[in-house]
């Protein structure tokens, strides 16, 4: 795979236009921008997906720019679920600024993802010019990389931003290294080192990048500068030491035996090659099975094929071919060595695809006539990527597509059940949750999600059994502990709920929902001081959680602390509309005989909830307290007309109306 002679234009494309376009990065960046915008413009309205919810949508830490420094010190801030802690501080920084700029509007998050992909494609072009010695081949490789349908996942799945962020930093590190190594200024080496650090702070897969740079060094003409590589290895070692707890957990508590995983990844290597060359059956959950033995025929065939391919590349690839092939393998190495929940995943190929597309472009560049077909191929890839983006529209379309392609995959049924539950199609969701539990009874989430759906469907005994099965598999599963405790609380079984909620609070003292449930338990047990402390802690942990100050307000109301109750209800209303807070605040003023204040509260509530009959009732009581009998009667009639009055209350109101109308004016 020797580099073609640099001609200043893409292979087979005559004319000064292309030559001028490829001589400077800015014009080619414009071409990339137009190509990506045409491909992905329709995806900006797509929604959030599976891991986005715990790491972004439900993660309170990214909603406060004051946490920017803490992201670099505490891996727990990565997720709303402590058991899913990861050290990706730069990723969290981008989430925080996204939220600051536009809240949870998905378009802003998709724009950033697309912008990072655009930056990566430009870096592939710039690095490719130095590696291949041909702007034309580099341009073709960068366009193949940018428009390949495998990249639809990183463009549409917000959580895969960790992949593009790390890739952008690593490619910048490679470009700066090549520039320095080929005679550029010394500060380019420093820039390369800083970029690698940014990659490590985005995703742990960047830890293999010193090996990629060492491979580049090995293929350089003598003299080689090996001692300068110590800086890269020192950065990777520092990262490994800083995150050794998470690495130890991944390696010490693997989701499958390491030997089984490595054999499975042998098969996956061939499967990834197939996806790269024929991206026609893409899925968020590929129907791919783990290997059972080293003597399985697919494993033997995969090992033989990869060995033969490696030998051919070693023999024919040349210096540049070794860099590209080695880079593709090394970029995929972390996911191949560390057992992960998902066997194969499209976004894992992101950096590998950069090297593969450059290699393919170099091969095509040696056959000028074939290069004319490059434009047709790029258009086809863009069309496939556009179609794939439509599948990522929402959770329902994504997992229905996965079900068509892999009906026997438990994760497909698990996530499709979640999408159906969100759409209000609970019976269908239950069917898929039950199917997931049948396919993977050893997976704790299958029983937990089934329990949630059964609880929502009004089947508490069956829900409790499902939560218990989840806890039998993972006794420290905090969400199952909390939900089973909540189920017992709702049934008035405080004694059964207490050990579950106390254990959840010990395991995760910083989880607001656990503190809320603990507050409810303490209040039911007649321990108001402890209930107050739990509610206050929940509010301090998540100031945007309206339920915490609302419960505090109710506690203060019932214990005769009206000033504190009013302050708590007003904190709730400062967060947004809340019918319960409006009504209780008005009722509080009525109890204090503060009739003008009560009337103002109920009147304001009716502007937000005009169809809420109880506010008419409260306003009627306030008007009557003010001596405004005619206005009180109007409010009482509106209350009766709403059809929301319980029979006993309606009878009392009718009687009161008769008294008001009979009284002399």
Contact 615, 583 (CB under 8 A): yes
- Closest of 274, 284, 245, 288 to residue 85, by C-alpha: 245
477-503 pLDDT, tens digit per residue, is 999 999 999 999 999 999 999 999 999
The number of CA neighbours under 13 Å toward the Cβ of 655 is 6
Report the share of the chain in percent with pLDDT over 90.
62
Long-range contacts of 396-399 (CB under 8 A, 24+ apart): 396/420, 396/423, 398/49, 398/284, 399/284, 399/285
From CA 210, how far away is CA 193, in angstroms rounded?
Answer: 10
Are 359 and 1 in contact by the 8 Å Cβ rule? The answer is yes
Q: What is the pLDDT of residue 369?
A: 52
Strands (E), 368-513: none
Q: Give the pLDDT band of residue 218 (cuts 50, 70, 90).
A: confident
- Is the CB of residue 242 less than 8 Å from the CB of residue 201? no
DSSP state of 281: S
Rounded distance, CA 214 to CA 234, Å? 13
Average pLDDT over residues 376-402: 94
pLDDT at residue 9 is higher than 80:
no
Closest CA to 182 of 210, 211, 217: 217
Percentage with pLDDT > 70 across the chain: 92
pLDDT for res 248: 53
pLDDT (mean) for 12-33: 65
Does 516 have pLDDT greater than 50? yes
CA distance 145 to 354: 6
Q: What separation in angstroms does the CA of 317 have from each of 45, 129, 324, 514, 645?
A: 43, 18, 9, 58, 82
Q: Which one is predicted more confidently, 575 or 371?
A: 575
Q: Would you state the pLDDT for residue 244?
A: 64
DSSP 8-state symbol, 284 = S
Q: Which of 7-21, 138-152, 270-284, 537-551 has the lowest mean pLDDT?
A: 7-21
pLDDT at res. 652: 87
Residue given tokens 């497909």 in the structure block: 412
Ordered by where they begin, the domains of the chain are 23-48+104-286+316-391 (no CATH), 596-665 (1.25.40)
Looking at every residue in the chain, the average pLDDT score rounds to 88
Half-sphere exposure of 442 (CA within 13 A, CB side): 3
Token pair, residue 208, equals 């293999």
Say if residue 464's pLDDT is above 90: yes
CA 252 to chain centre: 25
């Amino acid at each position: 795979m020797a580099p073609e002679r640099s001609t200043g234009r893409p292979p087979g494309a005559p004319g000064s236009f292309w030559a001028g376009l490829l001589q400077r990065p800015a014009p080619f960046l414009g071409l990339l921008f137009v190509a990506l915008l045409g491909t992905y413009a329709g995806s900006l309205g797509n929604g959030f997906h599976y891991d986005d919810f715990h790491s972004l949508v439900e993660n309170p830490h990214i909603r406060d720019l004051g946490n920017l420094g803490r992201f670099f010190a505490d891996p727990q801030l990565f997720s709303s679920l402590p058991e899913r802690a990861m050290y990706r501080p730069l990723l969290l920084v981008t989430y925080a600024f996204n939220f600051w700029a536009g809240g949870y509007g998905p378009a802003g998050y998709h724009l950033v993802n697309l912008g990072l992909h655009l930056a990566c494609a430009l870096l592939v072009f710039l690095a490719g010019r130095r590696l291949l010695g041909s702007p034309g081949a580099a341009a073709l490789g960068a366009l193949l990389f940018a428009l390949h349908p495998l990249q639809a996942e990183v463009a549409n799945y917000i959580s895969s931003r960790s992949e593009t962020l790390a890739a952008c930093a690593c490619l910048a590190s490679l470009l700066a290294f090549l520039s320095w190594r080929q005679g550029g200024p010394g500060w380019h080496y420093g820039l390369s080192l800083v970029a690698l650090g940014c990659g490590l702070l985005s995703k742990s897969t960047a830890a293999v990048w010193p090996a990629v740079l060492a491979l580049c060094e090995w293929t350089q003409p003598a003299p080689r500068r090996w001692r300068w590589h110590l800086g890269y290895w020192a950065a990777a070692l520092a990262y490994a030491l800083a995150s050794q707890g998470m690495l130890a957990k991944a390696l010490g508590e693997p989701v499958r035996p390491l030997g089984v995983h490595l054999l499975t990844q042998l098969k996956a290597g061939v499967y990834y090659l197939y996806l790269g060359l024929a991206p026609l059956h893409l899925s968020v959950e590929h129907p791919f099975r783990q290997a059972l033995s080293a003597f399985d025929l697919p494993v033997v065939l995969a090992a033989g094929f990869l060995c033969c391919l490696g030998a051919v590349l070693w023999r024919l690839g040349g210096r540049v071919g070794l860099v590209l092939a080695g880079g593709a393998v090394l970029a995929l190495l972390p996911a191949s060595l560390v057992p992960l929940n998902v066997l194969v995943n499209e976004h894992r190929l992101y950096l590998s695809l950069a090297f593969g597309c450059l290699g393919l472009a170099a091969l095509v560049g040696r056959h000028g006539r074939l290069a004319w077909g490059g434009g047709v191929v790029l258009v086809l890839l863009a069309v496939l990527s556009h179609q794939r983006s439509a599948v990522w529209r929402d959770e329902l379309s994504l997992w229905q597509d996965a079900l068509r392609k892999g009906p026997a995959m438990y994760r497909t049924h698990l996530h499709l059940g979640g999408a159906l539950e969100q759409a209000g199609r609970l019976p269908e969701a239950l069917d898929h949750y039950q199917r997931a539990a049948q396919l993977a009874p050893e997976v704790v989430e299958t029983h937990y999600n089934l329990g949630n759906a059964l609880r929502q469907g009004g089947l508490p005994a069956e829900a409790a059994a499902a939560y218990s099965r989840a806890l039998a598999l993972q006794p420290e599963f905090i969400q199952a502990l909390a939900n089973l405790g909540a189920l017992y609380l709702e049934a008035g079984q405080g004694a059964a709920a207490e050990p579950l909620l106390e254990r959840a609070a010990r395991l995760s003292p910083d989880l607001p929902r656990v503190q809320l449930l603990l507050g409810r338990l303490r209040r039911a047990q007649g321990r108001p001081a402890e209930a107050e402390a739990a509610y206050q802690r929940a509010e301090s942990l998540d100031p945007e959680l309206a339920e915490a100050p609302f419960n505090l307000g109710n506690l203060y109301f019932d214990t005769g602390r009206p000033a504190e109750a009013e302050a708590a209800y007003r904190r709730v209303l400062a967060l947004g509309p809340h019918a319960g807070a409006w009504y209780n605040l008005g009722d509080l003023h009525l109890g204090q005989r503060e009739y003008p204040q009560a009337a103002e509260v109920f009147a304001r509530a009716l502007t937000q909830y005009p169809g809420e009959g109880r506010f008419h009732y409260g306003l009627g009581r306030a008007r009557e307290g003010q001596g405004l009998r005619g206005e009180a009667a109007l409010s009482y009639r509106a209350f009766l007309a709403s059809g929301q009055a319980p029979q006993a209350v309606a009878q009392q109101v009718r009687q009161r109306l008769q008294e008001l109308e009979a009284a002399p004016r």
